Chains A and B, each alone.
Chain A
Amino acid sequence: MTSRLLLALPYFTVVVLIVLGLAVMLSKRNVVKILMGLSLMESAVNLFLVATGYRHDSVAPIFTNVPAGPMALPTVQALTLTSIVIGVATSAMMLSFAMVIYKKYGTTDIQKIKKLKG
């Protein structure tokens, strides 16, 4: 069991990060902390994508002065790059929304923002 855990350690790290992010998002009331949980889950997804494309003893898929050997899969790395940039854009949007909410309501507690409830 332990060797199995070590063999697929990145995937288990992904699971731990996703569950932690979900727990933070569901249990916290502060908007900024909820966004932190969301960012944590985003990082977990990025890690999952990169881990999917790893081959044993492989090098990065860049041919400049590279040692001989297998190369890691490039497509998932390209998709991860896209995902990171979209993540930065959405994080900036959400944090701006949090700032506007704080300006309008004077609090970031989602329980106290009554006006958003219907």
Chain B
Amino acid sequence: MKMTKIVRTTADLFFPFCLVFGLYVVVHGHLTPGGGFQGGAVMATGTALLLVARSYDDVTGRIRKGAMKACEAAGLLIFLCAGFSGLFAGRPFMANWLAPDSALFRTAVAHGPNAGDLNTAGLLPLLNFGVGIEVLGGLTVILLYMLSGIKEEKKP
């Protein structure tokens, strides 16, 4: 079953915007509503859009399952390494040792309502990024696996 050309073109058009919006949500996780989990889910929505509009073989040509698995593992690894980095800084596990006054992500934030600055929040953007990558990889792999199961079902 094939969708019409209009649907396929629109899905192709919206796919990069899904990715960019999801990345925006991940990167601004410590300033605006959102964060790693939500942004990762938005990015995985782009894959779902492609899967709805195109066939399984088309999508796996563009989005590799192995790459998405690697994404997922790398995300969890980033999270763990960021957690253990607290130990090397002489602080407990998962401690936000970059936060209050340390060059990367360490500008002190104003107290109370302010305009927001990306270069704040210490370890949080790193953790957000790791979780975002992990959720993107995980949800995409789940979607691809489920669709491959459907395809095998129809073959005989």
Contacts and interface: CB of A to CB of B under 8 A. Distances in A.
B32 A64 contact: yes
- Interface-central residue, B112, B142, B145, by most chain A CB under 10 Å: B142
Contacts of A67: 113
Interface string A74-94: 000000010011001000100
Interface stretch (A9-17, A34-42, A95-103): A95-103
A96 B146 contact: yes
Contact of A88 (B115, B139, B146): B139
A65 interface: yes
B31 interface: yes
Interface of A: 60, 62-68, 81, 84-85, 88, 92, 95-96, 99, 103
Interface of B: 31-33, 35, 37, 41, 112-116, 135, 139, 142, 145-146, 149-150, 153
Contacts of A88: 41, 139
Given A67-B113, A92-B142, A96-B146, 16 more contacts: A63-B113, A63-B114, A63-B116, A64-B32, A64-B113, A65-B113, A65-B114, A66-B113, A81-B35, A81-B37, A84-B37, A88-B139, A95-B146, A99-B146, A99-B149, A99-B150
B37 A85 contact: yes
A26 to B, nearest CB: 27
A65 B33 contact: no
A38 B89 CA distance: 45
Contacts of A81: 35, 37
Contact of B116 (A60, A65, A85, A103): A65
